[in-house]
């Protein structure tokens, strides 16, 4: 993973909810570790710093299929880190109940593709608990972790990106990290955030992405996008594993003299419209990219919002239609996965078309 433009990092020494009161500190020590180890570190810290935190899900007691929960059972015991039966709806409902009693329920859905049986619990129970009880109850301590996205050969049911479904649900937060360092900071922020959060982890990067991650406890702010690369001709917005694809496209575009500004949205809802808007006002062009199918994807929301606020206003305007480079409107395919994917070349092509519009 590229470390370029790695932005501010927030560090805190004590357990608290993420909020504006956090102190920004410059990057400190860190060992190069991969993404699953960063998640693992974050979970260790979460359990260490809060005796009311629990980690559970299918096979997590043995370390999980992606090794994210390795060592947690040994360290914190079976009462706090445990396997559940294969029942996603049950896991989500149980987690909501646990969180409603003031605990931090960190539930794992083994693959984002399996989250649909739990959809009802997350959408109808978790997201609306606070609202419909007039703030008497909430499940703010709930964090649902789930690996999402392509892995090169996952096929239909181990590759999907369901983030847009959850972005349609007021009351939830949806967060997706792009790198190990981001993953650790964002996950800790999600766990400590007083709202239910769905945290999707890019499974392609679990082993692939390696970068220096501070060993201490730190959080990164939610609902704050990060400009990871400054540019002047076009704004590129993405999240998760797609960031590295966009990064490569930026490098290629630079060879043709196109200066791209790259934004990692990080939190999808509530999203940081201001950062994106400010960037588009500067560049006049926007490209959004995600792995999920283009129709109804979260890119559509970003496009519409930016068109609303940047179309012929304040003398600054969009100079080209917003480009969306996303997955195709097909089920995630087994063969021809590269055709489906929003690859670097597709992005590059769209950058050129948009800039030369």
Partner 1 sequence: MAVSRLASSSLSKLLLRPLSAPPFSRHFSAAASDDDWTVLTIETSIPFTGHRIDPPSRSVDTTRKELLSFFRDMARMRRMEISADSLYKAKLIRGFCHLYDGQEAVAIGMEAAITKRDSIITAYRDHCTFLGRGGTLVEVFSELMGRRSGCSKGKGGSMHFYKKEAGFYGGHGIVGAQVPLGCGLAFAQKYSKDETVTFALYGDGAANQGQLFEALNISALWDLPVILVCENNHYGMGTAEWRASKSPAYYKRGDYVPGLKVDGMDVLAVKQACKFAKEHVLKNGPIILEMDTYRYHGHSMSDPGSTYRTRDEISGVRQERDPIERVRKLILTYEMACASELKDIEKEIRKEVDEAIRQAKESPMPDPFELFTNVYVKGYGVEALGADRKEVKAFLP
Q: Which residues are catalytic?
A: 88, 158
Closer Cβ to partner 1, 175 or 325, answer by number: 325
Closer Cβ to partner 1, 154 or 221, answer by number: 154
Q: Which residue in 85, 134, 257, 315 binds partner 1 (CB under 8 A)? A: 85
Q: Which residue in 325, 341, 344, 355 binds partner 1 (CB under 8 A)? A: 325
The separation between CA 43 and the C-alpha centre of its own chain, rounded to angstroms, equals 16
Round to whole Å and give the CA distance between 54 and 142.
10
Round to whole Å and give the CA distance between 357 and 203.
35
Round to whole Å and give the CA distance between 126 and 87.
17
Closer Cβ to partner 1, 188 or 318, answer by number: 318
Distance in Å, CB of 326 to partner 1, minimum: 8
Q: Which residue in 3, 28, 31, 157 binds partner 1 (CB under 8 A)? A: 157
Distance in Å, CB of 330 to partner 1, minimum: 5
Q: Determine if 294 is a binding residue for partner 1 (CB under 8 A).
A: yes
Q: Which residue in 3, 16, 87, 101 binds partner 1 (CB under 8 A)? A: 87
Look-up: residue for tokens 């049986």? Answer: 117
Helices (H), the chain: 35-49, 72-76, 88-100, 119-120, 129-132, 163-167, 180-192, 205-208, 242-255, 273-283, 298-310, 337-340, 344-355
Cα–Cα distances in Å, from 195 out to 141, 145, 166, 182, 218? 7, 14, 14, 19, 19
Closer Cβ to partner 1, 45 or 151, answer by number: 151
Residues 6+ apart with CB under 8 A from 238: 245, 246, 262, 263, 264, 265, 288, 289, 290
- DSSP assignment string, 255-287: HTT--EEEEE--EEES--HHHHHHHHHHHS-EE
Q: Which stretch binds partner 1 (CB under 8 A): 114-122, 217-225, 271-279, 301-309?
A: 114-122
Q: Which stretch binds partner 1 (CB under 8 A): 48-56, 130-138, 196-204, 320-328?
A: 320-328
Q: Which stretch binds partner 1 (CB under 8 A): 135-143, 195-203, 296-304, 328-336?
A: 328-336
Q: Determine if 80 is a binding residue for partner 1 (CB under 8 A).
A: no
Q: Which residue in 1, 33, 44, 58 binds partner 1 (CB under 8 A)? A: 58
**Two structure tokens written together for 227:** 């400009």
Q: Which residue in 124, 133, 232, 353 binds partner 1 (CB under 8 A)? A: 353
Cα–Cα distances in Å, from 88 out to 56, 148, 173, 284? 11, 15, 19, 44
Closer Cβ to partner 1, 175 or 246, answer by number: 246
Q: Determine if 333 is a binding residue for partner 1 (CB under 8 A).
A: yes
Residue 212 CB coordination number (10 Å): 16
Q: Which residue in 144, 265, 286, 350 binds partner 1 (CB under 8 A)? A: 350
Q: Determine if 116 is a binding residue for partner 1 (CB under 8 A).
A: yes
Q: Determine if 97 is a binding residue for partner 1 (CB under 8 A).
A: no
Q: Determine if 114 is a binding residue for partner 1 (CB under 8 A).
A: yes
Residue 185 CB coordination number (10 Å): 26
What is the H or E stretch that residue 197 is in?
strand 197-202
Q: Which stretch binds partner 1 (CB under 8 A): 163-171, 197-205, 277-285, 329-337?
A: 329-337
Cα–Cα distances in Å, from 350 out to 276, 324, 344, 356? 18, 8, 10, 10
Binding residues for partner 1, rule: CB under 8 A, are 58-59, 61-62, 65, 83-87, 89-90, 110, 113-114, 116-117, 152-158, 294-295, 321, 323, 325, 328-331, 333-336, 339-340, 346-347, 349-350, 352-353
């Amino acid at each position: 993973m590229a470390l370029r433009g790695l932005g501010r990092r927030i560090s805190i020494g004590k357990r608290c909810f993420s909020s504006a009161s956090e102190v920004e500190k410059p990057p400190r020590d860190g060992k190069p570790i991969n993404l699953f180890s960063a998640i693992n570190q974050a979970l260790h810290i979460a359990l260490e710093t809060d005796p009311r935190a629990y980690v559970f899900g299918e096979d997590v007691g043995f370390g999980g299929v992606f090794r994210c929960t390795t060592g947690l059972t040994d360290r914190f015991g079976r009462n706090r880190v445990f396997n559940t039966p294969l029942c996603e709806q049950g896991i989500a409902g149980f987690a909501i109940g646990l969180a409603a009693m003031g605990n931090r329920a960190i539930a794992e859905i083994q693959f984002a593709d399996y989250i649909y049986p739990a959809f009802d619990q997350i959408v109808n129970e978790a997201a609306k608990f606070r609202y419909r009880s007039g703030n008497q109850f909430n499940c703010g301590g709930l964090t649902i972790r789930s690996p999402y996205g392509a892995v090169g050969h996952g096929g239909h049911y181990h590759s999907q990106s369901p983030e847009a479904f959850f972005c349609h649900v007021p009351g939830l937060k949806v967060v997706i990290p792009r790198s190990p360092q981001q993953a650790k900071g964002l996950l800790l922020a999600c766990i400590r955030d007083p709202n239910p959060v769905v945290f999707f982890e890019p499974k392609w990067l679990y082993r692939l992405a390696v970068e220096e991650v501070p060993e201490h406890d730190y959080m990164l702010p939610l609902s704050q996008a990060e400009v990871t690369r400054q540019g002047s001709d076009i704004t590129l917005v993405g999240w998760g594993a797609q960031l590295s694809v966009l990064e490569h496209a930026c490098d290629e575009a630079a060879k043709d003299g196109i200066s791209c500004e790259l934004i990692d949205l990080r939190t999808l809802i509530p999203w940081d419209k201001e950062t994106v808007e400010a960037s588009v006002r500067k560049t006049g062009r926007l490209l959004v990219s995600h792995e999920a199918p283009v129709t109804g994807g979260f890119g559509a929301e970003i496009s519409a919002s930016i068109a609303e606020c940047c179309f012929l206003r304040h003398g600054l305007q969009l100079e080209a239609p917003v480009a969306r480079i996303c997955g195709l409107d097909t089920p995630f395919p087994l063969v021809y996965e590269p055709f489906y994917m929003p690859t670097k070349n597709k992005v590059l092509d769209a950058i050129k078309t948009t800039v030369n519009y």
